Amino acid sequence: MIQYKDFKNTLEEKIKECEQVVITPHIRIDMDAIASSIGMAAIGRKYGKQSFILLDDDPLHIEAGARKIIEDAKKHYEIISLSEYLKRKTDQDLLVMCDVNKKNMVSCEKILSTFQNIFIIDHHSTDENTVDTPFQFIDKTSSSASEIVAQLSFVSNLKITPKLAEFLLAGIALDTQRFSKVPVDSAAFHVVYKLTKKGTSIEAIEPYFVEDYQSYRRWNGLVDKAEFQTFKAAIVVGDDKEIYTSVEIAKAANCLLNFDVDASFVVGRVANDAISISARSKGAIDAGTVMHDMSTQGGGSPILAAARITDSTETTETVGTKLKQKIQPTFYIR
Ligand SMILES: [Mn+2]
């Protein structure tokens, strides 16, 4: 459990000492990460500090709801790339990680050591990649980072605008599968109630989920096409005439990794002249190397990688065949 009064006091002190407040959500941003980051930016500003959010995700890879929040938030909050930030960086900036505690999950991993103080506001478990800092405000019993930031806003007497309340509510809704995963006696319900008193409502956040439902059906369609015969890899080859978003392809790959496989690969057309592959691995095979071998525009980490193929002679079927040929030897040598 986080002691919010102490948390607020520590944060307040460090914000007052710092030059600027830099907020980083996790990569592959979602509604909880962006909403909690926006709330944190509002808190930074309350203390008169320049506060901005680092965002380096490929717009195509941002889920619909988070994209809506970002578009809306841009009018009132500064959302900048890492390279833009580096031009404005000072030695006294305070870094706040929202909805994330691991160094390999933020876009500013390479410059983490340059910050004197780093705050973590998160509800995920920690591991050896967790950033080493005394300011870890991590509560796994919280529904979401948005819930934690909302609590912090209440004790900080932040003036919560209806829009900010709406974003935070959407963040909580995402991580609780629209409130279905919240224990009835949970503090989260109390936070939800208090947010609705700030000029938003459960109905107001509906639009953040609508598009996702249609997309859900599309990526589930991809999951249905999975073939599992290739050793322990699940492979999907989408219909060449169907155009998917990169997010849908990634979601299908994520979903398939939940099954008893070592890796999942989803091939789908993302534009008339581009095919995309999304690869996920539990570590036994190096997804990054496979993706690198598939395309000059391919690569990533051993567990999470992607490739883009822009050769117009290729179809999803030809790419799928090449991918299977590439993967089979990888599994033989194990
Ligand atoms: Mn979250």
Q: Where are the domains of the chain?
A: 4-205, 220-332
Q: What is the CA radius of gyration of the chain?
A: 21
* Of 229, 215, 230, 328, residue with least CA distance to 268: 215
Position 110: which residue type? K
Q: Which residue has the tokens 């459990």?
A: 1
pLDDT in tens, 151-208: 999 999 999 999 999 999 999 999 888 888 777 668 999 999 999 999 999 999 999 9
Ligand 1 centroid to residue 53 C-alpha, Å = 16
Centre of ligand 1 to C-alpha 263, Å, is 24
CA of 167 to the centre of ligand 1 (A): 13
For the question of whether the overall pTM of this predicted structure is more than 0.75, the answer is: no
- What is the C-alpha to C-alpha distance for residues 259 and 274, in angstroms, rounded to an integer? 28
- H or E element at residue 324: helix 316-332
Question: According to DSSP H, which parts of 183-245 are helical?
Answer: 187-196, 207-224
Q: Which residue has the tokens 């690198």?
A: 292
Give 26-80 pLDDT, tens digit per residue.
988 999 999 999 999 999 999 999 999 999 988 867 888 999 999 999 999 999 9
Contact (Cβ atoms closer than 8 angstroms) between residue 47 and residue 159: no
Confidence grade of residue 334 (pLDDT, cut at 50, 70, 90)? very low
Give residue 99 CA to ligand 1 midpoint distance, Å: 5
Percentages of the chain per state (helix, strand, coil), in multiples of 5: 45, 20, 35
Question: Helix (H, G, I), strand (E, B), or coil: what is residue 163?
Answer: helix
Averaged pLDDT, 102-115: 95
- Helix, strand, or coil (residue 101): coil
> How far is it, in rounded angstroms, from Cα 314 to Cα 298?
16
According to the 3-state scheme, what is the secondary structure of 38-93?
HHHHHHHHHCCCEEEEECCCCHHHCCHHHHHHHHHHCCCCEEECHHHHHHHCCCCC
Q: Which two tokens stand for residue 36?
A: 């909690």
Mean pLDDT of 116-143: 94
CA of 47 to the centre of ligand 1 (A): 25
Compute the distance from residue 331 Cα to the ligand 1 centre, in Å. Answer: 34
pLDDT for 300 equals 83
Q: What is the pLDDT of residues 211-241, one digit of tens each?
A: 667 778 889 999 999 988 656 899 999 999 9
User: From the CA of 145, how far away is ligand 1's center (Å)?
Assistant: 5
Lowest mean pLDDT among 6-20, 82-96, 290-304: 290-304
Return the structure tokens found at 49: 């500090």
For 111, the 3-state DSSP assignment is helix
Lowest mean pLDDT among 6-20, 27-41, 134-148, 293-307: 293-307
CA of 112 relative to ligand 1 center, distance in Å: 21
Give residue 88 CA to ligand 1 midpoint distance, Å: 28
Task: Give the pLDDT confidence score for residue 232 in this predicted structure.
Answer: 85
Q: Torsion over CA of 209, 214, 215 and 218, rounded to 10 degrees?
A: 160
Residue 331: the pLDDT is: 56
Distance 97 CA to ligand 1 centre (A): 12
What distance in angstroms lies between residue 65's CA and the mean position of ligand 1's atoms?
A: 14
Number of H helices, E strands in the chain: 11, 11
Q: Which CATH class is domain 220-332?
A: alpha beta
| Ligand 1 centre distance from Cα of residue 318 (Å) | 38
CATH of 4-205, one of 3.40.50.620, 3.30.230.10, 3.90.550.10, 3.90.1640.10: 3.90.1640.10
